[in-house]
Amino acid sequence: MLNKILIIGIILSSLFGKERADTQLDPMPITFAGTPFNLVENGHSAINYIWLHGDEKTAKMALDHHITLFPGKAFFIQNDNREIPYQSTIIDPNRLFSREGSLHALKKFKPYWAPGTLKKALDEMDLDRSQFLEKLMPEKDGLLIAVHNNSQGYNVKHELRNSQKMSLKYQQNPRDFILCTNESDFEKLAIGPYNVVLQDTVMDRDDGSLSWESLRRNVRYVNIETRLGYLIKQKKMLEFVSKSLN
């Protein structure tokens, strides 16, 4: 009887000890440049998604809906504005994916920095960027999809000079388009109903955008851009891209 009691005690102790250990192993919060991101996972997929500009609410709603229906990981920035606060200034999070882009972003709203402080900020950003991209980038041969909105006239024509191939549909609004960095993906998307451009060559002037960093890393990247407020359109484009490239 004593042996049975001891055995039961050991088993219970092991179970409760494991439970305590599990509860202590909380995942580390995901942040970039001091701004947190919320990660939503649905099953397993080689597709990762990101919503990067907090003022582009249509894109957020589209991705919120999409990730409940399609497997993958979705990264949502926890911010309400286009720029995020950083030290004593604000910066565009989609201009921080290179040191050169970070330099311009840091000086845009704060042209003058005390001696040594700008280099220190850039060095910190280099480390922060590396850690964030390690979490964001998909597995080998996977796909990274970003969702964006425009509201001030930006359209696909602004991307033509940096594009190597294009498939423009006259019946589509030029402010709704898909940008990709992989030629094979472009060929699959070009047969669909949407405007599509291919940018598979890094330009001399690096603006720090996620698309150029993905290209440097040989990661397939797609940006789905629509007018702000066109939720149904962006949902359909997300579904089209996911089904076409999965």
Nearby residues of 45 by Cβ (< 8 Å), 6 or more positions away: 70, 71, 72, 73, 246
Number of alpha carbons in the 13 Å side-chain half-sphere of residue 57? 3
Res 3: pLDDT: 45
What are the residue ranges of helices labelled H in 115-225? 117-136, 183-190, 210-216
> Given a cut of 50, is residue 131 above it in pLDDT?
yes
Least confident of 28-32, 46-50, 174-178, 198-202: 28-32
Alpha-carbon distance 243 to 246, whole Å? 5
- Per-residue model confidence as pLDDT tens digits over 167-207: 999 999 999 999 999 999 999 999 999 999 999 998 888 89
The pTM score is: 0.88
Res 27: pLDDT: 60
Q: Residue 122: helix, strand or coil by DSSP?
A: helix
Which is more confident, 15 or 79? 79
